[in-house]
Amino acid sequence: MSKRLVAANAWISSDSRYAAEALSYAGFDSVTVDLQHGMFGIDTAVSLLQAISAGPAVPMVRCSRLDGAEIGKLLDAGAYGIICPSIDDAEQCRDFVGACRYPPVGTRSFGPSRGLLYGGPDYVDHANDSVLTWAMIESRSALDNLDEIAAVEGLDGIYIGPNDLAMSLGERPGGAMPESVREAIRRAVQVARARGIFVGAFCGGEDAAADMVDCGMDLVTPGNDISFLRDAANRRLSVIRRLTTLVSDASGY
Amino acid sequence: MSKRLVAANAWISSDSRYAAEALSYAGFDSVTVDLQHGMFGIDTAVSLLQAISAGPAVPMVRCSRLDGAEIGKLLDAGAYGIICPSIDDAEQCRDFVGACRYPPVGTRSFGPSRGLLYGGPDYVDHANDSVLTWAMIESRSALDNLDEIAAVEGLDGIYIGPNDLAMSLGERPGGAMPESVREAIRRAVQVARARGIFVGAFCGGEDAAADMVDCGMDLVTPGNDISFLRDAANRRLSVIRRLTTLVSDASGY
Amino acid sequence: MSKRLVAANAWISSDSRYAAEALSYAGFDSVTVDLQHGMFGIDTAVSLLQAISAGPAVPMVRCSRLDGAEIGKLLDAGAYGIICPSIDDAEQCRDFVGACRYPPVGTRSFGPSRGLLYGGPDYVDHANDSVLTWAMIESRSALDNLDEIAAVEGLDGIYIGPNDLAMSLGERPGGAMPESVREAIRRAVQVARARGIFVGAFCGGEDAAADMVDCGMDLVTPGNDISFLRDAANRRLSVIRRLTTLVSDASGY
Amino acid sequence: MSKRLVAANAWISSDSRYAAEALSYAGFDSVTVDLQHGMFGIDTAVSLLQAISAGPAVPMVRCSRLDGAEIGKLLDAGAYGIICPSIDDAEQCRDFVGACRYPPVGTRSFGPSRGLLYGGPDYVDHANDSVLTWAMIESRSALDNLDEIAAVEGLDGIYIGPNDLAMSLGERPGGAMPESVREAIRRAVQVARARGIFVGAFCGGEDAAADMVDCGMDLVTPGNDISFLRDAANRRLSVIRRLTTLVSDASGY
Amino acid sequence: MSKRLVAANAWISSDSRYAAEALSYAGFDSVTVDLQHGMFGIDTAVSLLQAISAGPAVPMVRCSRLDGAEIGKLLDAGAYGIICPSIDDAEQCRDFVGACRYPPVGTRSFGPSRGLLYGGPDYVDHANDSVLTWAMIESRSALDNLDEIAAVEGLDGIYIGPNDLAMSLGERPGGAMPESVREAIRRAVQVARARGIFVGAFCGGEDAAADMVDCGMDLVTPGNDISFLRDAANRRLSVIRRLTTLVSDASGY
Amino acid sequence: MSKRLVAANAWISSDSRYAAEALSYAGFDSVTVDLQHGMFGIDTAVSLLQAISAGPAVPMVRCSRLDGAEIGKLLDAGAYGIICPSIDDAEQCRDFVGACRYPPVGTRSFGPSRGLLYGGPDYVDHANDSVLTWAMIESRSALDNLDEIAAVEGLDGIYIGPNDLAMSLGERPGGAMPESVREAIRRAVQVARARGIFVGAFCGGEDAAADMVDCGMDLVTPGNDISFLRDAANRRLSVIRRLTTLVSDASGY
């Protein structure tokens, strides 16, 4: 059985240009700047996109909300793809996709800024084709409207947010994946396949990412940068603590 | 045989306040802001120290050079300890320790700023006692003068920089530890023990940190934050790539 | 007659992490970052919250508007309380409170970021209980709907904005409190007492704060940081100018 | 007896552009950005100077050290005056004054940047005359060499740092002024008068400033911005606390 | 024939305080900070407004969207004029103008911040009169509703966005002006003249600006700062390349 | 006669990441971040280097002074070349070149940071060969020692600073090039040719750049970014003002 093509996506929630550039060079296919839960705003996000551009990964953004002005600015700032949270029905999905496309297809305002740098002088001619649009499926309503959402003209992919989805389905977020969420994910993969669009998911770590690859995802996000740090810190601390005694206060060493 | 007391020290080279605070909460005894090779200057360093202060770890700084004005500012900004690079002889060590102490012991200028916040209204009375001074041993000259350096009144510890030390001894930096460096480290531990001061080291990762604990270090730094990110990224990518095919360019997914 | 329990709240409108931390250490019970009229955006607000966290005061935010995405991000960034401007009716109040609570109670999206640091690993379990929600009463409509607003399930307090309220009632803002505003404040205190929720107010200075304590407020904000600076500057300048002649231009001294 | 002409100087140690501009408008003759003990570096200092320029006060800087490159950059960034810490002898004073003057008088490098904005197209022609140079007298050595320092060609003023001076004379800094410091200040005033140069001092607050005016100072700095904040906070808190009980933890209100 | 009075307006899309101040001194009547397509957010915008205030030009902002909270904050931050994108009908125009005016005329919230600095203590009394409101006309709907938009009480001017207008009319943006856009501009000038309000336009460069002056504009924006840089770079590079051969990679010189 | 190979170098003195990236894409062979007279410090410089790396130009830095710690940090931050001001004799030149090279050739400290990103995992092996070192010749002393400076092992080029050189030779800076400076430049070209090293110059604009190409320069800098802005502003303003009357104050339009 042959391997499938799956994109590995990094996720930035910290305010570090250097870390963003390092992740762009680390081997990921794309790096996503998270404006929704990331610890920064637009000012920092622009410089994170520049930092990602300095490396080989594709720069993407999860916007903070369905807001045409914000989405337009992030595209001008160099995002090649937008992951939009909480797309709960087809109308929201159409608004989202429209915000990513120039007229007559959509409503994006002209002012391509960094687009003219990374995309070249003909950026405006091809931007409608090259910018990827991902709708986040993360509520019971979104599941109810999944077929209509996936059918929206111009949508490139759906992206599962398992934690918000779990809470919306009455489950606890952050732990092992509840069966109701897993079932929803299976259906999302089927719908995406049927529509010929991509399907991706945020995953808690490497094991969850492997699980999601098995489920048929085209793009997986194996945790965010801070979870990377925490995981690496834990490994190092457990090795050191196995050999030593905890130093409990500053005066102790 | 009983376990020893060893401090685990994190190392910040990226410009992220959020990551710095996360590392302060991650279980390390101290977190060191690296002004020498870190990708930031004084402006960012001050805010990183605030971020570390929001968590339980002890904030320290590796200054960029032996420079009393910079060291004084970093102490005012809330560093509880200074690791000074390239202390090659006793006179440099005396200058370094003096820069960390108020008169009549040293030459630090009055203007305690954040010190009055974290250290309380009596900060100036106890700062000379509570600020830790670490001299970096990272050249052949430093080894030649090690006894005199370690004997400097008021020095709290020596800290080994294995990479610069390797280069100074004619070895390649960054790989497996050459025997000449290991020998130097053994001697540094003995000298520190004899003088009753601390000894610490920068280590490439968790295995090197374990090795340095075995060598007798009181404080080990198991890599910097970017190496944490890279290591965690590699683990995740290897799991994903084992299952899938590399997406080689942006248009591929 | 026994003293009542009243919280003293500082108010940040300047872009200074150091000042924010200093105010957190100055003796206030809480420090509020003002995103509505403060001279900064989200990027700076996050670092101000970190700075407040380094001291003992409770970090709060006045958000710029009733906007679930912004409110969610500020909670993720470490606010323990949100003061929302211009809550004019019960529906807006329900939207506001909902934006501060995780499902099934509310609509807050999962991604706790700094919450996991300051709130601990169980942050998500207790966040709905520990985050304080304050609805600003600052228009004639809000007064008309005050009983319904105060009755909204999960609202923790109402907070009077006397200047906007004055303008809405046809009075001049910024000077002595008009009787119509005072009357509105008296009613707000009664309604809050009856509902068992808190009541607070922004005050122009220390005298207005004392007045508001007398009126029955549970929390008073005695001016913002820039008014603190201006007041202290005026005291110092009046002492100096009493003794001297004004230097009127740069070449004069 | 007629009033004398005395400049009132504000002092910035916090990283707030808005506060800096507010102090420039508050009535001070000059506002000094403190790079030595202020909680920021060059990046922030440049924007603080822009903020001060937006108001009427004269922008000055206390540099972090006697360093021609730093001083030149700060002048390029729009400082009209430099206060240099720790000038202990005439040679240091000549180096300092030289760093502030273009050749052939001094050694300042050409590249006037913001100077061309605030100073006009002929800035380079008059900069040597319009930039004020203040040497800080804050050690026993400086007192020993005071006559020679004050005699340095081109020096515009001496500026007393009472806290570092106190420590250098074996006294405690930060409290009531020791007699030895007062004596040194009297002498500094006499020497300045004799040489026809200015004399100024950093003062702990308004009373100390009044005292220094009485001593004959031409310029007084009545504390820094954070001491302004703290003082105003204390006034407000004491009024509130007199009426109420302390709220001791977050859950208390 | 006498010359008309026409304002020359600079346009900031880059994140440089120094460039903003330089443009304020360069001879323009006004300098507009572009929050819609500019590569920065609110944090940077505030400091750009301070930088513009340091020079003689009038500071204006193009807001990112019709959003009262954002517009209020930008006015508090020192904008003397707001250019609002995509005003497509009279109701939007009324909302926009209302967001710029204090009650009872409008809905702006009280909290004048930098307004009290640049506008003086009586800022609130005259702000409704001194803040200029410009509605952007940049869609077919806006043309359809032009008379009603221009008739909105309190609107000071209409401002043509030729590129978005071109796209809305089915034309290509960014190149030579299509006849349909030119016709729309002629009508906009007539409507503005008839209503006694101003009319302005964004122009691609100096020739387009001259053309728009001929068309009757009261205010012209001859490109943004990055187009200035690019144009100046091209001139210099063409002179150098005429004399030399291209150095095609780093190792080549 | 065939064309020569000459590098066109842009020069950044403003604090704009977007402008820096735009200049990197504008067609220059290299873009130099000016830490000496630029309106920013190390924090901003790092992000400017990232921005330049996002485009095709070679990133270089003019450091603020001959200071090994600063030079090392800038190389770690991604500079491929260093232009060091005020190299006045061979010893300074050796110190400068040494600061750019790892041992045993030089004294650069190990900690390659962004070098590992842009230079690849083998960065440390080839950095000594790929980093360009340019010594600025800008004083009479430097001219006196020119042969010895140019002969320093490992120096890649000399770079003329005509303004400081003019002042050092007793001439006025900033205007037409005095004959003494022109003579010095001719000699510098000869010395560089004889030694087989590069020679470059800072030029006031395009005409001066053409002149310097004629003089034999290998690299020319045709002004800095702010001079680009000013020049483009002047062109646009002169076209607009030719057609119109100056609007002299804010109320005028």
For residues B94 and C93, the answer to whether their CB atoms sit within 8 Å is: no
A77 touches chain E (CB under 8 A): yes
Question: Is A126 among the catalytic positions?
Answer: no
Q: Name F139's Cβ contacts closer than 8 Å, sequence gap at least 6.
A: F86, F88, F164, F165, F168
Which pTM was predicted?
A: 0.96
Chains adjacent to A (≥3 CB pairs closer than 8 angstroms): B, C, E, F
Q: How many CB pairs under 8 A join C and E?
A: 63
The CATH number of the domain covering residues in F7-246: 3.20.20.60
Q: Nearest 5°: phi and psi at C107?
A: -125, 10
pLDDT of residue B2: 52
Instruction: Name the nearest CA neighbour of D30 among D56, D50, D4.
Output: D56
Q: Which residues of B touch C17 (CB under 8 A)?
A: 46-47, 50
Q: Which residues of A touch F53 (CB under 8 A)?
A: 54
Calculate how close chain C gets to E118, using CA atoms only, in Å: 14
pLDDT of residue E123: 94
- How far is CA B92 from each of CA B201, D88, D143, rounded to the nearest angstrom? 20, 21, 27
How many whole angstroms separate alpha carbon F213 and alpha carbon E242?
Answer: 11
* Other beta carbons less than 10 A from residue B119's beta carbon: 18
pLDDT for A171-198, tens place per residue?
999 888 999 999 999 999 999 999 999 9
pLDDT of residue F253: 39
Average pLDDT over residues E182-192: 98
Assign domain E7-237 to its CATH architecture. Alpha-Beta Barrel (3.20)
More confident residue, E56 or F121: E56
Instruction: Please judge whether F226 and E17 are an interchain contact, meaning their C-beta atoms are less than 8 angstroms apart.
Output: no
F219 touches chain E (CB under 8 A): yes
Q: Tokens in use for F236?
A: 């646009």
| ipTM entry | 0.94
**Is E41 strand, coil or helix?**
coil
Instruction: Please judge whether C69 and A15 are an interchain contact, meaning their C-beta atoms are less than 8 angstroms apart.
Output: no
pLDDT bracket for residue B249 (50, 70, 90): very low
Instruction: Please judge whether A37 and C103 are an interchain contact, meaning their C-beta atoms are less than 8 angstroms apart.
Output: no
pLDDT of residue D4: 76
Domain topology for D7-252:
TIM Barrel (3.20.20)
pLDDT for C148-179, tens place per residue?
999 999 999 999 999 999 999 999 998 889 99
- The percent of residues in chain E predicted with pLDDT above 90, rounded, is 91
- The percent of residues in chain F predicted with pLDDT above 90, rounded, is 91
Name the residue facing F111 among B36, B44, B170 (closest C-beta): B36
Query: Nearest residue of A to residue C77 by CA position?
Result: A39
* Angle between helix E90-99 and E68-76 (nearest 10): 40
Whether the per-residue pLDDT at C250 is higher than 50: the answer is no
pLDDT for F14-61, tens place per residue?
999 999 999 999 999 999 999 999 999 999 999 999 999 999 999 999
Query: Nearest residue of C to residue A45 by CA position?
Result: C43
What are the domain boundaries of chain D?
A: 7-252
Average pLDDT over residues F162-178: 94
How many whole angstroms separate alpha carbon D212 and alpha carbon D205?
Answer: 11
pLDDT of residue E118: 83
Q: Which residues of F touch A118 (CB under 8 A)?
A: 54
How many whole angstroms separate alpha carbon F98 and alpha carbon F112?
Answer: 16
How many whole angstroms separate alpha carbon C74 and alpha carbon C33?
Answer: 10
For residues A182 and A165, the answer to whether their CB atoms sit within 8 Å is: no
pLDDT of residue D119: 86
Instruction: Please judge whether C16 and D13 are an interchain contact, meaning their C-beta atoms are less than 8 angstroms apart.
Output: no
pLDDT bracket for residue E2 (50, 70, 90): low
pLDDT for C48-72, tens place per residue?
999 999 999 999 999 999 999 999 9
Instruction: Please judge whether E76 and C39 are an interchain contact, meaning their C-beta atoms are less than 8 angstroms apart.
Output: yes
pLDDT of residue C247: 52
Instruction: Please judge whether B173 and F68 are an interchain contact, meaning their C-beta atoms are less than 8 angstroms apart.
Output: no
DSSP A193-250: HHHT-EEEEEESSHHHHHHHHHHT-SEEEE--HHHHHHHHHHHHHHHHHHHEE---SG
* Other beta carbons less than 10 A from residue A194's beta carbon: 11
Which residue out of D25, D27, D37, D183 is catalytically annotated? D37
- How far is CA D206 from each of CA A16, C235, D60, E145, E172, rounded to the nearest angstrom? 42, 7, 21, 61, 66
pLDDT bracket for residue F5 (50, 70, 90): confident
pLDDT of residue E245: 66
How many whole angstroms separate alpha carbon F122 and alpha carbon F32?
Answer: 24
pLDDT of residue E4: 76
E68 touches chain C (CB under 8 A): yes
More confident residue, B2 or A224: A224
Least confident of A130-139, D197-206, D236-245, E157-166: D236-245
Q: Output b/e per residue, D153-166; b: 16+ Cβ within 10 A.
A: ebbbbbbbbbbbbb
Assign domain A7-247 to its CATH architecture. Alpha-Beta Barrel (3.20)
Instruction: Please judge whether F50 and A51 are an interchain contact, meaning their C-beta atoms are less than 8 angstroms apart.
Output: yes
